[in-house]
Amino acid sequence: MPPAHLNRTDAPYQFHAFEVSYFSAKVRPALRYKGLWVEERRADLKEIRERTGLTFIPIVVTPDDETWQDSTEIYRLLEERHPQPPLFPSGGLQRLAAHLIELYCDEFALIPAMHYRWGSELGEATARARFCGMVGNHKLGNLAADRMVAARFLVGASVAAGPQIEEHTHDLLGSLSSHFEAHPYLLGGRQSFADCALMGPVDGHFFCDLVSRRLLLETAELVVGWIERCKFPNTDQQGEWLEGDALAPSLIRVLDVMGGDAVPIVLDLLRAFEDWADQRPADQSEPPRGIGSCRTSLRGAPIDRAIMAYTLYSAQQVIDCYKGLTTADRSRVDTALADTAWPQLLAYAPRHRLHKERFKLVFDSS
């Protein structure tokens, strides 16, 4: 008989993932935290394409053979099916903060993640070796690595912005280290979807890759401790999120570092996507995945970044959460984040809206 704190199912959840994959590292801790019976399989792109029509990793196949794709959707569906232990805080301020951290991870943290994996000779050589080993074929492993090197530039991890990307990462690791001096998780004594989301870049890339793993081990031991806790979440030994829906002052500092660099870039991308959407043919209901590139900047350094429809979808969910808060909670958010850049994003009013139809993004009809 499994222990009572585990969520029982008649068959395992299948998790199609890779160890080196950013979004797999975002989903894995949520599955473990929920105490589920999970069979983790090496992603089979053919099966993923058959199930979703796409080749995004990871997917989750439920015990009753439903397919879940998109890490954000996977969190939502997991919480719906297995509400205990909770991933989503019930307090409005903590919930909104968790969504902001997820947005930072989905839209911005790809930049340092790709920089450290592919942005130096040692990083690239060791990542290529890992890809070849993973694929089990030298030629195909290198072809996959070539695609990732191209993706590095699409997400904006430009050579010119290398020093600024590293400054950002040092500030992030410094603020996280201060936070973890007093709190085991981002929102206090219990893991939440914010921790899981941050595991995407921090475990999936930084701790996985040689250059950044060394950086973590040499400069951020407390972050390494947090990775360990999120990896092995001992579901029966979790504490509670901070009382009274509070955010620790040290977390506000983390949010300040995240927002200061991410918000200007996300706003530039949103504006560029919406300008394109204003002009699109009237009968075009599905946006292409990307629509060219946009010049933006990080701490003054130029960044060219692909304009993706998904950025609007991500931002829309955060803005919806903010608008859905009670007036009292919204005003607590405004006060808590007043000295950060996040209010600029929360004030953005999208002119277009996207939803998902069978895994694809589609414009709402206006």
Which positions touch ligand GSH (CB under 6 A)?
21-23, 55-57, 70-72, 310
> What span, in angstroms and rounded, lies between the C-alpha atoms of 352 and 273?
10
**Minimum CB–partner distance for residue 117 and ligand GSH (Å):** 11
Which residue from 69, 76, 22 is spatially nearest to 204, judged by alpha carbons?
22
CB of 196 to ligand GSH, least distance (A): 12
For residue 182, the minimal CB distance to ligand GSH (Å) is: 30
Q: Is the Cβ of residue 146 or residue 334 nearer to ligand GSH in the bound state?
A: 146
| CB 29 to ligand GSH: min, Å | 14
Cβ distance to ligand GSH smaller for residue 71 or 212:
71
Q: How far apart are CA 155 and CA 233, in angstroms?
A: 31
Nearest to ligand GSH of 103, 165 (CB atom): 103
The dihedral sign for the CA sequence 315, 112, 183, 18: positive
3-state SS class at 135: helix
* Spatial separation of the C-alpha atoms in residues 275 and 286, rounded to whole Å: 16
Residue 211, φ and ψ in degrees, nearest 5: -65, -45
Q: Which residues contact 58 (CB under 8 A, 6 or more apart)?
A: 15, 16, 17, 18, 21, 23, 24, 27, 43, 71, 74
| Residue number, 105 or 216, with CB nearest to ligand GSH | 105
Q: Nearest residue by C-beta to ligand GSH?
A: 71
β partners of residue 15: 40, 60
Please, what is the minimum distance in Å from the beta carbon of residue 178 to ligand GSH?
A: 29
Q: How far apart are CA 107 and CA 113, in angstroms?
A: 11
Smaller CB distance to ligand GSH: residue 71 or 175? 71
Residue 180 vs 313, nearer CB to ligand GSH: 313
Q: How many CA atoms lie within 13 A of 7 on its CB side?
A: 22
Region label for 145, one of left (φ > 0), alpha (ψ between -120 and 50) or beta (otherwise): alpha
Write down the least CB distance from residue 110 to ligand GSH, Å. 9
* CB nearer to ligand GSH: pick between 202 and 333: 202
What is the nearest approach in angstroms of ligand GSH to the Cβ of residue 221?
A: 26
**Closest to ligand GSH by CB, 87 or 333:** 87
Which amino acid, one-letter code, is at 122?
Answer: L
Q: How far is the CB of 139 from ligand GSH (least distance, A)?
A: 19
Q: How far apart are CA 234 and CA 184, in angstroms?
A: 13
- The torsion angles phi and psi of 234, rounded to 5 degrees, stand at 30, 75
> Which residue number, 3 or 292, has a Cβ lying nearer to ligand GSH?
292
302: DSSP letter: E
Task: State in angstroms the smallest separation of the CB of 177 from ligand GSH.
Answer: 26
